[in-house]
Amino acid sequence: MALKTEEMVLNMGPQHPSTHGVLRLELQIDGEIIIDVIPHIGYLHRCFEKHCEAMTYPQVIPYTDRMDYLASMYNEFGYALAMERLMKIEVPERVEYIRVIMGELQRIASHLVALGTYGADIGAFTPFLFCFRDRERILHLFEITCGARLLYNYIWIGGLSHDLHPDFIRLTKEFIKDFRPNVKELNELLSYNRIFIERTANVGVLPIETAINYGVSGPNLRASGMKWDLRKDDPYSVYHKFDYDIPIGKGEKGKTGDCWDRYYVRVLEMDESLKIIEQAIEQIPDGDVTSAIPKRVKPPEGQIYTRVENPRGELGYFIISDGSINPARVKVRAPSFVTMQVFPELCKGFMVADVVAILGSVDIVLGEIDR
């Protein structure tokens, strides 16, 4: 007798421990095998783009903080850069250096969250707290700089809100010194753990053509084996002055572009960011960080699309100015928004447990997807 079997629809989220926010995934499963995944987003929609149209240009900056709340510094960086290009503002060198230091610290902090929560998704809880312990020190550095731990409003159009704290350089050096062994510890505890490799290698392989066609960017694209980093390929700020590598996925433990590669590229990137920070704090010039801030931000009529390499990928700002003090249109090309599109492709044929593994490996932030 043949038994009647049925596919099951499982709602993962909006409240679920490992959807990294309020994401709802509609899983069609056959037993534990995934047939299809339909993501439903918008639970965190805060009308960022509508708000922008009612704000003046500098007032937009705190709103950009709230998009990708794990990489607020970089969101501000991108927005400030776009506005400076639109208004043709020359920024003092010191400002650029501080921005780079902050941006790279933010990248490490963001990757630490990604790696830690990824460990927690796979079931190893201890790496999560180790990562957060180190992230805490970065947040402390931000806190002494601008008074906020998560949403900074630090990088302004044409400058910065404050200069560095006198202790900042010393504390950053200490952090770098302490952090390197911690990365090694993380690798021993999680990256090369046999069970971890079993869970992540050969799972959710993203081929490079698919990745480009979908517009996937950042660490996820690099894990697929493409050496593409906007810091080098579309240079901005003072990144050309530093010596660093772009790590790419090599398929060491499985196929190129699997979850382990995506995970490990982030680990390597933290190391490269440390190199950049080390060089930047050696070379940082003196100067006034507020001198180039325009009194009145009124860009000429026109439009600009500027992109920066956010910890999660290509963060683009498309700004249209109609010549008034309010932007006519601010559209954000959020890296997670694009990455999320390719997610159903990655999951098909894997198991429920792998959905969690894949979702963690692409590292999305819902605040940015929903804006």
Partner 1 sequence: MMYDWLYNLTGSEILAMFIVSLLPLFVFILPFALFAVLMERKVSAHMQDRLGPMRTGYHGILQTIADIIKLLQKEDLVPTATDKILFNLAPLLAFIGSYAAFAAIPFSGFFIGTKIDLGIIFIVGVTGLVVAGILMAGWASNNKYSLLGAMRAAAQIISYEIPTLLIILTIIMLTGTLSLYDLSEMQTAYFWNWLILGGPAVGLQKILLIPFMIMGCLIIYTSTLAEVNRTPFDIPEAESELVSGYHTEYSGMKFAMFFLAEYANMFAVSAIVAIMFFGGYQSPFGYLGNTLGWTWLVPIEQFFWFTSKGLFFVFVQMWLRWTLPRFRVDQLMAFCWKYLIPFSFVILLLVGLIALM
Partner 2 sequence: MKTAEEIFNTLKEKFGSSIVEFKADKPVEPFIIVNPLEVDKISLFLKDEKDLLFDSLMNLSGVDDANGIKEKDDKGLETIKGGTLSVYYHIESTKLRHKLTLKASTDREKPEVVTVTEVWKGADWHEREAYDMYGIIFLNHPDLRRILMPYDWEFGFPLRKDYKNPEFYQGMKVPY
Closer CB to partner 2, 248 or 289, in the complex: 248
324 contact, one of partner 1, partner 2, none, CB 5-8 Å limit per kind:
none
Contacts with partner 1, residue ranges (CB under 8 A): 8, 10, 16-18, 32, 119-126, 129-130, 133, 189-190, 193, 195-196, 198-199, 351-356
Token pair belonging to 138: 């970065």
Query: Which positions from 25 through 54 interact with partner 2, judged by CB under 8 A?
Result: 41-42, 45, 47, 49-50, 53
Long-range Cβ contacts of 169-178 (<8 Å, 24+ apart)? 169/281, 169/284, 171/140, 171/141, 171/144, 172/101, 172/105, 172/141, 172/277, 172/281, 173/281, 175/137, 175/138, 175/141, 176/274, 176/277, 176/278, 178/137
Helix (H) or strand (E) holding 72: helix 72-87
> Is-cis flag, bond preceding 14, omega within 30?
yes
Token pair recorded at residue 195: 């069970």
Q: Least distance to partner 1 from the beta carbon of 10, Å?
A: 5
> Which residues share a beta bridge with 29?
8, 34
> What element of type H or E holds 321?
strand 313-321
Which of partner 1, partner 2, none interacts with 354 (beta carbon under 5 to 8 A by kind)? partner 1
Nearest to 57 by CA among 142, 125, 158: 158
- Closest to partner 2 by CB, 254 vs 313, is 313
Q: In angstroms, give the least distance from the CB of 121 to partner 1.
A: 5
Cβ closer to partner 2: 154 or 228?
228
**Closer residue to partner 1 (CB): 188 or 288:** 188
Binding test (CB under 8 A) with partner 2, winner from 212, 246, 292, 353? 212
Cα 221 to Cα 12, 21, 285, 338: the distances in Å are: 26, 23, 34, 12
**At closest approach, how far in Å is the CB of 267 from partner 1?**
16
Judge contact between 77 and 155, C-beta under 8 A: yes
Smallest separation (angstroms) from partner 2 to the CB of 168: 34
- Placement of tokens 């805060």 in the chain: 46
- Considering only residues 231 to 270 of the shown chain, the ones binding partner 2 according to CB under 8 A are 233
CB of 135 to partner 2, least distance (A): 29
Structure tokens given for 277: 């920070």
Per CB under 8 A, the list member of 34, 340, 346, 364 interacting with partner 2 is 340
Nearer to partner 1, 91 or 109 (CB): 109
If one asks whether residue 85 binds partner 2 (CB under 8 A), the answer comes out as yes
Helix, strand, coil % over all residues of the chain, rounded to 5: 50, 15, 35
| Partner that binds at residue 198, options partner 2, partner 1, none, CB closer than 5 to 8 Å by kind | partner 1
- Cα separation, 335 vs 130, whole angstroms: 26
Closest CB 46 distance from partner 2, rounded Å? 10
Task: Specify the residue, 38 or 54, whose C-beta has the smaller distance to partner 1.
Answer: 38
Binding partner of residue 301 among partner 1, partner 2, none, CB cut-off 5 to 8 Å per kind: partner 2
Query: How far is the C-alpha of 99 from the C-alpha of 162, rounded, in Å?
Result: 12
Q: How far is the CB of 289 from partner 2 (least distance, A)?
A: 25
Least distance in Å: CB of 223 to partner 1? 19
Query: Residue written as tokens 């992230």?
Result: 135
Nearest approach, Cβ of residue 247 and partner 2 (Å): 18
Radius of gyration of the chain (CA): 21
Residue 189 binding partner per list partner 1, partner 2, none, with a CB distance cut-off of 5 to 8 Å that depends on partner kind: partner 1
What are the two backbone dihedrals, phi and then psi, of residue 303, each rounded to the nearest 5 degrees? -150, 155
| Residue numbers at the binding site for partner 2 (CB under 8 A) | 41-42, 45, 47, 49-50, 53, 85-86, 88, 210, 212-216, 226, 228, 233, 300-305, 307, 314, 316, 318, 320, 328-329, 331, 333, 337-338, 340-342, 370-371
